[in-house]
Amino acid sequence: MLTLEQIQAFDRDGYVLVPDVFSAREIEILLAHVTKDGRVTKHQWAALDADGRSSKLSLWADISDDVFGAVSSSPRIVNNARMLLREDIYHWHSKVMLKEAKVGGAWEWHQDYGYWYGDGCLYPRMISCMVALDPATKENGCLKVVPGSHLLGRLDHGKVAGQVGADQERVQAAIDRLGLKYCEAPAGRALFFHGNTFHSSEANLSERHRRAYICCYNALSNVPYSKNGHGKPEPIRVSPDDSILSFAEGVTA
Ligand SMILES: O=C(O)CCC(=O)C(=O)O
């Protein structure tokens, strides 16, 4: 459960980093499922960054019956996301960001709502939770955010190399005024960020992977008017708190 200070930080900054949301054992189990052939391989694709590097991810919109569904419906994420948006939410999509050592590409500056606006969501009542699966540092391309940028409204987005990015002149002006923050995180830490928070990450030229699990939610009051949205607009049945541990079979400590 988030503290009042953490909720106030999210309201002010558009993001909050929450330590130890998942234990070392839970992360070990999740990573074992990320690396074995299955859902992550099946849904994988890549988008080229401005330097031509490949930014890989694997994305799906259902809350599956596997360990990934257990994370996306975890009370530690869902109840906190409900609290931060002050309303009930549904699962939009979840993804594994596979920023591999030495080759993992960058993600250009954008707002998630810059993408999801195009799906027909009228309000930016959307939130993401990024869970570090590997320690995320400046060197291996941790997420960068512009504190307070969620209050600037939605910027125009357009093509930046093989990705969709925000108006770069405005992003730079916002960084000049508001600064930026590298969200370094040990494995198991979660970063909740608002749908309008500017964020990006640099390429991973280091020797260490930077993988992360991101689950995204939309307010139930904000179902897209189009038929293009992600996920099913229905309340989430949260999983039991120990449910990740129930997928430990075959994962050696
Ligand atoms: O994984 C990253 O570094 C970027 C993730 C991101 O920007 C997103 O999912 O919207």
- Side-chain-side CA neighbours of 89 within 13 Å: the count stands at 28
Query: Measured between alpha carbons, how far is 108 from 40 in angstroms, rounded to an integer?
Result: 23
**Closest-lying ligand 1 atom to the alpha carbon of residue 214:** 9
> Of all protein residues, whose CA lies closest to atom 9 belonging to ligand 1?
214
- Token output for 31: 């990573």
Per-residue pLDDT, 37: 73
Distance CA(6)–CA(147), nearest Å, equals 14
Q: How far is CA 142 from CA 86, 187, 196, in A?
A: 28, 12, 19
Decide which of 3.50.50.60, 2.60.120.620, 2.40.110.10, 3.40.720.10 is the CATH code for 4-247.
Answer: 2.60.120.620
- CA dist 244 and 253 (Å) reads 14
Beta bridge partners of 99: 210
Ligand 1 atom, smallest distance to 95 CA: 9
Segments in the chain forming alpha helices (H)? 4-13, 24-35, 39-42, 67-72, 75-85, 112-116, 168-178
- Name 47's Cβ contacts closer than 8 Å, sequence gap at least 6: 54, 55, 57, 105, 162, 163
Q: Which residues line ligand 1 (CB under 6 A)?
A: 97, 107, 112, 143, 199, 201, 212, 214
What pLDDT does residue 207 have?
98
Q: Which helix (H) or strand (E) holds 46?
A: strand 44-48
pLDDT of residue 244: 98
Residue 161, pLDDT score: 87
- Any idea how long the chain is? 253
Best residue for ligand 1 mutational test, from 201, 202, 205, 215 (most atoms within 8 Å of Cβ): 201
By the 8 A CB rule, do 201 and 98 touch? no
* Tens of pLDDT, residue by residue, the chain (253 residues): 999 999 999 999 999 999 999 999 999 999 999 998 789 999 999 999 999 999 999 999 999 999 999 999 999 999 999 999 999 999 999 999 999 999 999 999 999 999 999 999 999 999 999 999 999 999 999 999 999 999 999 999 999 889 999 999 999 999 999 999 999 999 999 999 999 999 999 999 999 999 999 999 999 999 999 988 899 999 999 999 999 999 998 888 7
pTM: 0.97
Q: How far is the CA of 111 from the centre of ligand 1 (A)?
A: 10
Compute φ and ψ for 12, nearest 5 degrees.
-80, -45
| Residue 181 CA, ligand 1 centroid: distance in Å | 15
Q: Write down the pLDDT at residue 228.
A: 85
